[in-house]
Amino acid sequence: EAQVTQNPRYLITVTGKKLTVTCSQNMNHEYMSWYRQDPGLGLRQIYYSMNVEVTDKGDVPEGYKVSRKEKRNFPLILESPSPNQTSLYFCASSPQLSGANVLTFGAGSRLTVL
Amino acid sequence: AQSVTQPDIHITVSEGASLELRCNYSYGATPYLFWYVQSPGQGLQLLLKYFSGDTLVQGIKGFEAEFKRSQSSFNLRKPSVHWSDAAEYFCAVGRYNNNDMRFGAGTRLTVKP
């Protein structure tokens, strides 16, 4: 089944404790992206990647890092999480970078930073 | 920069009633328009999309949307809502060969029995 898999689905952590949210897709998509969803704000893009080793900032990149060493994986790294990063995170992918492409989303990762 | 407005944060309808969710966008040219649905605990799933051609597009689960260029709108409709339609709905706008896809803030739909 074609899908985007995120882990963990739920995580509670404390301020400053580094964490990684993994994202993997099995569709050979070139384009991958991370979003955060907050009430009243919709989805805001954190980082995106057009292909292996090509990443760029989205609208809200502060406090996050990403890497794209393999085509299928696009982990989101929070080096020193803070409470304002408490949110619902989604990874998404599409065949290429194009506003016309439909995004395939993961099921989401709910992160709480205490 | 393009933007998307969903004026209704929360809508409640009775099962069997009709539904219209509003979406307005700001963009200089014809955008690519999408409606996604997010069921509780799940990721976003595409309901329908509009790129060009017939301005009335059909989607999954009995949903349709109409693109009105003069009003910069892309409203989502369903003639008869089912309890399983309770979810959050997001309108999105994209541009060709561009990363600048924008999502609205979402409309939460509650369905009364």
pLDDT by residue (tens digit) across A4-61?
Answer: 999 999 999 999 999 999 999 999 999 999 999 998 888 999 999 999 999 999 999 9
A99/B100 CB distance under 8 A: yes
**Higher per-residue pLDDT: B113 or B30:** B113
Report which of B87, B100, B37, B42 is spatially closest to residue A90, judged by C-alpha positions. Answer: B42
pLDDT at B49 over 70: yes
State how far the Cα of A15 lies from the Cα of A107, in Å rounded to an integer: 24
pLDDT category, B65, cuts 50, 70, 90? very high
State how far the Cα of B88 lies from the Cα of A10, in Å rounded to an integer: 20
Q: According to the model, what pLDDT value does residue A20 have? A: 97
Residue B29 CA: distances (Å) to CA of A56, A108, B69, B77: 25, 32, 10, 24
* β pairing state of B87-94 and B32-38: antiparallel
Instruction: Tell whether B95 is within 8 A of chain A (Cβ).
Output: yes
Which of A103, A104, A109, A110 has the highest number of chain B CBs within 10 A, making it the mutation to test binding with B?
Answer: A103
Q: Quick one: average pLDDT of B42-67?
A: 93
pLDDT at A65 over 70: yes
Q: According to the model, what pLDDT value does residue A57 have? A: 93
A100/B34 CB distance under 8 A: no
pLDDT at B27 over 90: no
Nearest Cβ partner of A98 from B9, B45, B96? Answer: B96
Q: According to the model, what pLDDT value does residue B52 have? A: 85
What are the pLDDT digits (tens) for A76-104? 999 999 999 999 999 999 987 777 778 99
Q: According to the model, what pLDDT value does residue B20 have? A: 97
A99/B32 CB distance under 8 A: yes
